[in-house]
Amino acid sequence: MYSIGLTGGIGSGKTRVADLLAEWGAAVIDTDDISRGLTAAGGGAMAAIVAGFGPVAADPSGALDRAWMRELVFRDPEARGRLEAILHPLITAATVRASEAAAGAPYQVFVVPLLVESGRWRERVDRICVVDCDPDTQVERVGRRSGLTPEAIRRIMAVQVPRATRLAAADDVIVNDGATTPLQLMERARALHDRWLELAGAKDRAVHVGQQAPRP
């Protein structure tokens, strides 16, 4: 099935874009949603996380204490590696299951915040789409919705690849800066949705005749 890797920095608006694509019929598989499910109370990763990091890693409900873990992995790369070793195989398996279950959609969208950083997605998807905005807009949006300080938000941004690196990896870009209106964002996303439908149809026809669809 034709597939898009959708990414963007924190606060870029990729979730809104994904929601629009889902409304228009794409199968959206959000790895952040999968991760949140795995680290919720009773989630499939919590036993291993508590075993690896101790009871302090869980909040009173039994879910991952995200604030505690965020502070730990920012100051301790080894801890980040241990957490990723627990989560990544589980996320991958859940992503594969979700992809197989969505086989009837016109195309699939994999929402992956750290798509470029992972280095594993380039060969898994047909195209990479970046939702892009300037850093100041990122800080303002995230602060408004989360209550995090600008310093904390910039620390999160610092562990993501630079904006230029993300854009260099993109086949398609949706601009969603501070001047972008909701209508403009919708129009930009819709234009790409229509284009991806065309490309998905071209790939499907090529597969049926035993050829590989060209990459525009």
Q: Is 12 annotated as a binding residue?
A: yes
Q: Is 42 annotated as a binding residue?
A: no
Q: Is 13 annotated as a binding residue?
A: yes
Q: Is 141 annotated as a binding residue?
A: no
Helix orientation angle between 66-75 and 77-101, rounded to the nearest 10 degrees:
120
Residues 6+ apart with CB under 8 A from 201: none
Q: According to CATH, what is the number of the domain 1-26+107-209? A: 3.40.50.300
Cα–Cα distance list, 199 to 105, 183, 202, 214 (Å): 14, 24, 5, 9
Q: In what order do the strands lie in the sheet with 127-132?
A: 27-30, 108-111, 3-7, 127-132, 172-175
Q: Rounded distance, CA 96 to CA 152, Å?
A: 33
Q: Is 80 annotated as a binding residue?
A: no
Give the tens place of pLDDT for each residue, 103-146: 889 999 999 998 998 888 988 999 999 999 999 999 999 999 88
Q: Rounded distance, CA 11 to CA 157, Å?
A: 10
Name which of 65, 4, 58, 68 is nearest 30 in CA terms.
Answer: 4
Q: Rounded distance, CA 96 to CA 1, Å?
A: 13
Q: Rounded distance, CA 193 to CA 186, Å?
A: 10
In the chain, CATH 3.40.50.300 sits at 1-26+107-209
Residues 6+ apart with CB under 8 A from 13: 131, 133, 141, 176, 185
Name which of 1, 195, 201 is nearest 102 in CA terms.
Answer: 1
Give the tens place of pLDDT for each residue, 79-104: 999 999 999 999 999 999 999 999 88
Q: Rounded distance, CA 27 to CA 60, Å?
A: 34
Give the tens place of pLDDT for each residue, 145-174: 888 899 989 988 988 899 999 999 999 999
Q: Is 36 annotated as a binding residue?
A: no
DSSP lists the bridge partners of residue 110 as: 5, 29
Question: pTM for this one?
Answer: 0.88
